[in-house]
């Protein structure tokens, strides 16, 4: 696949998959934007393959493969990409380019695939820390990989990047509680459900919207210190990257604000931001980015969940499990 078709492919992928991130990604310099699009395309592809879909629609091969077999295949292809083998699948060709160019540790990529495996296993989350562990795998590691694309190697700044991923995912969970419940998924801690007298199997029922609204508001509130921590990490990014990340920060945080404000009506329609709101958040993001220049570094709160610090070569020679 030539250079232009690959770039066209990943650009079309992000436009179809995430309008919020597509808006923010336009603020990166050309090389960073290219790498960010390449990484996004791989993440989205792995998500879709796990669910037997292509950009949200069921793929023809889904009926003949088990979800675990698909994850095993993704792990094997990921390791082959790191080994430098020719990649014929465009999303893996994109990933190979970005992973090798920016020295993304294999452990991070495989940690991301573990998040999809947790869905396949229908893992339950007893405590909020368990929910955060899931958030780390599906979004925190994406923040870590994106930060490396932006040139970050400082562990303290990487912590902030992970925090932004956690905040994004907590917002997503709050927005999608009912939608997830309809397909049998629940990321809320069992302890929280018990306090509200709810069973995870009943979360889609309209009569429970008052309790669900309280749980969603609780998630949005829990995301706030992670958004604050991520904002403090903007100073460690190049200016244009800081602008892009500050804009994404504002867009996602606003979705959480809307979910909390809507209360029991939050799931009548999918919460999002309008074009006008995105433009306003674009300007606000610019102000945040500029104000971060020369800002005094503050310690990350010890009360926040701490990401695992895996060895970079932990999975370098791992053998993927058999299908």
Please give the structure tokens belonging to residue 14.
Answer: 């992000």
pLDDT in tens, 215-226: 999 999 999 999
pTM listed for this prediction: 0.89
Q: How far apart are CA 214 and CA 127, in angstroms?
A: 17
> In percent, how much of the chain has pLDDT > 90?
78
pLDDT in tens, 23-61: 778 899 999 999 999 899 899 999 989 988 654 433 445
Residues 6 or more apart whose Cβ sits within 8 Å of residue 260: 174, 216, 217, 220, 221, 266
pLDDT in tens, 102-136: 999 999 999 999 999 999 999 999 999 999 999 99
pLDDT in tens, 163-212: 999 999 999 999 999 999 999 999 999 999 999 999 999 999 999 999 99
pLDDT of residue 254: 97
Q: Is the pLDDT of residue 214 over 50?
A: yes
Cα angle 204, 208, 210 (rounded to 5 degrees) comes to 125
Contact 116, 321 (CB under 8 A): no
Tally helices (H) and strands (E) across the chain. 14, 2
Q: Is the pLDDT of residue 12 over 70?
A: no
**Among 227, 233, 229, 235, which Cα is nearest to 251's?**
227
Cα angle 37, 147, 114 (rounded to 5 degrees) comes to 80
pLDDT of residue 118: 97
CB neighbours of residue 291 within 10 Å:
14
Contact 41, 91 (CB under 8 A): yes
Contact 150, 32 (CB under 8 A): yes
Q: How far apart are CA 10 and CA 91, in angstroms?
A: 8
Q: Where are the beta strands (DSSP E) in the chain?
A: 53-54, 57-58
Q: Which residue has the tokens 């998630």?
A: 219
Q: How far apart are CA 137 and CA 110, in angstroms?
A: 9
Q: How far apart are CA 56 and CA 48, in angstroms?
A: 7
Task: Name the architecture of domain 122-293.
Answer: Orthogonal Bundle (1.10)
Q: What is the mean pLDDT of the chain?
A: 88
Over residues 249-256, the mean pLDDT reads 96
Please give the structure tokens belonging to residue 232.
Answer: 């403090």
Confidence of residue 16 (pLDDT cuts 50, 70, 90): low
pLDDT of residue 309: 78
* Chain region(s) in the chain for CATH 1.10.600.10: 122-293
Q: Is the pLDDT of residue 22 over 80?
A: no
pLDDT of residue 230: 98
Q: How far apart are CA 16 and CA 47, in angstroms?
A: 14
Confidence of residue 322 (pLDDT cuts 50, 70, 90): very low
Contact 222, 6 (CB under 8 A): no
CB neighbours of residue 275 within 10 Å:
9
pLDDT in tens, 262-283: 999 999 999 999 989 999 999 9
Confidence of residue 9 (pLDDT cuts 50, 70, 90): low
Please give the structure tokens belonging to residue 63.
Answer: 């009926």
How long, in residues, is the chain? 323
pLDDT of residue 162: 98
> In percent, how much of the chain has pLDDT > 70?
85
């Amino acid at each position: 696949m030539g250079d232009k078709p690959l770039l066209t492919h990943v650009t079309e992928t992000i436009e179809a998959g995430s309008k919020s991130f597509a808006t923010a990604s336009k603020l990166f310099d050309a090389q960073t934007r290219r790498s960010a699009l390449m990484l996004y395309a791989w993440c989205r592809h792995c998500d879709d393959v796990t669910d037997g879909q292509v950009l949200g629609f069921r793929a023809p091969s889904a009926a003949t493969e088990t979800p675990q077999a698909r994850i095993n295949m993704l792990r094997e292809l990921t390791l082959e990409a790191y080994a430098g083998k020719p990649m014929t699948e465009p999303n893996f060709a994109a990933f190979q380019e970005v992973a090798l160019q920016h020295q993304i540790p294999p452990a991070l990529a495989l940690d991301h695939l573990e998040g999809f495996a947790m869905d396949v296993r229908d893992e339950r989350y007893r405590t909020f820390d368990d929910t955060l562990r899931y958030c780390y795998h599906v979004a925190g590691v994406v923040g870590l990989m994106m930060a490396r694309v932006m040139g970050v190697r400082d562990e303290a700044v990487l912590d902030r990047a992970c925090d932004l991923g956690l905040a994004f995912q907590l917002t997503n969970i709050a927005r999608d509680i009912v939608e997830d419940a309809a397909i049998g998924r629940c990321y809320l801690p069992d302890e929280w459900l018990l306090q509200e007298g709810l069973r995870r199997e009943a979360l889609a029922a309209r009569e429970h919207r008052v309790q669900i609204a309280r749980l969603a508001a609780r998630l949005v509130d829990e995301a706030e210190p992670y958004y604050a921590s991520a904002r403090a990490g903007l100073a460690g990014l190049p200016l244009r990257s800081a602008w892009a990340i500050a804009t994404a920060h504002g867009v996602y945080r606003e979705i959480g604000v809307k979910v909390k404000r809507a209360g029991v009506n939050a799931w009548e329609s999918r919460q999002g931001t309008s074009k006008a709101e995105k433009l306003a958040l674009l300007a606000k993001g610019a102000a945040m980015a500029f104000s971060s220049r020369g800002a005094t570094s503050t310690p990350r709160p010890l009360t926040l969940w701490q990401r695992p610090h895996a060895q970079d070569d932990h999975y370098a020679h791992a053998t993927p499990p058999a299908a």
